[in-house]
Amino acid sequence: MNEFVWHDHCEDDLILPANGNEYVLKAQNLSMNLMQQSVKADGSLSFLVIGDWGRKGQYNQSDVAFQMGEIGEKLNIDLVISTGDNFYEDGLTGVNDPAFHGSFTNIYKAPSLQKTWYNVLGNHDYRGDVEAQLSPVLREKDERWFCLKSYVLDAEIVEFFFIDTTPFVDDYFTNPKEHTYDWKGVLPREKYLNDLLKDLDLALSRSTAKWKMVIGHHTIKSAGHHGIIIELADQLVPILKEHNVDFYINGHDHCLERIGSIDSNLEFLTSGGGSKAWRGDLKGWNPTELKFYYDGQGFVSVELNQKEAEFVYYDVFGHVLHKFSVSKDSCVARQ
């Protein structure tokens, strides 16, 4: 499995080798860690996407995990992506919080799931000790675990851009209600967000990967409970479109979903059905854009090669709910 190290910002605009399979992208006092992931011998890649899961096996989390193990074995997956809200209700209390084993290690036990899990943070994770989830100590406890606030994963035919979306949402700062958020490393907020957007813009501009996928916790387009997160729609979407990103993949809404774009090839995919679901919580959406919506638990599988990406949505029983493929050469999606 890949190892990571921590890097300080520097003023140079270049890519420097770091340690093992990792490089760090440094530019204009900004930095974004760049990990490398090996692919199969034929150059293809397969993985699962799960979000909003950490409930110590409750709310069908264990059942979803079982089906992930089955599909993971069938596809011989290379990695797992988590779209955040990794530990409910309030993240981890520290690196020794038993919830880490109770909601992660002891749940996703299938042999096929013993691959690196690339995680982003969700809003519930920010209600606990954020540094705990970022700490190398967790990786010592379970070597599958990998989490940074924002980073790039280079898997040859695809680059994944993991983005810390929670600090974008105004309500968490202006109307936190009874919740307390761990903003260490985020304040001053304006600088943090500006730096993050510049990092993303630079990383995307340098990408030569066949496929580009951006991973964040929060919805940008959704027919579910949270709908449009306007801060992300305003600040993030223009960058995604400018650099021809293929997919934005998120959690946050506890459902499975696929929404297209009228004015670009960018698609918005939700995989937030890792445990507790919100049955019947569906808002209206333009039927021209809304391709699929399911208000229950489940996950998504992805198979990629140079020419095609295939996505399959599964429910808690492992039944196929929806699948589609996109041809890279023609940029045509097929049901």
Q: Is 52 one of the annotated binding-site residues?
A: yes
Q: Which two tokens stand for residue 281?
A: 């919580």
Residues 265 and 331: beta-carbon distance below 8 Å:
yes
Among 141, 139, 99, which Cα is nearest to 119's? Answer: 139
Per-position DSSP letters for 42-61, written without gaps between them: TS-EEEEEE-S--STTTTTH
Residue 157 one-letter amino acid: I
Q: Is 195 one of the annotated binding-site residues?
A: no
Q: Is 253 one of the annotated binding-site residues?
A: no
* Residues paired with 215 in a beta bridge: 162, 249
Give kind and range of the element (H or E) at residue 199: helix 189-206
Strands (E), 217-297: 247-250, 256-259, 267-271, 290-294
Residue 214 one-letter amino acid: V
- State the Cα angle at 133 between 152 and 205, rounded to 5°: 15
Residue 249 one-letter amino acid: I
- Beta carbons within 8 Å of 96's beta carbon, 6+ residues apart: none
CA 270 – CA 52 distance, rounded (Å): 11
Q: Is 252 one of the annotated binding-site residues?
A: yes
Query: Is 226 noted as a catalytic residue in this protein?
Result: yes
Per-position DSSP letters for 57-104, written without gaps between them: TTTTHHHHHHHHHHHHHHHT-SEEEE-S--STTT--SSTT-THHIIII
Q: Is 88 one of the annotated binding-site residues?
A: yes
How many helices and strands in the chain, by DSSP H and E? Answer: 8, 18
Cα 275 to chain centroid, rounded: 16
Given 124, 226, 319, 322, the catalytic residue: 226
Which residues carry a binding-site annotation for Fe cation? 52, 85, 88, 123, 217, 252, 254
Which residues carry a binding-site annotation? 52, 85, 88, 123, 217, 252, 254
Annotated catalytic residues are 226
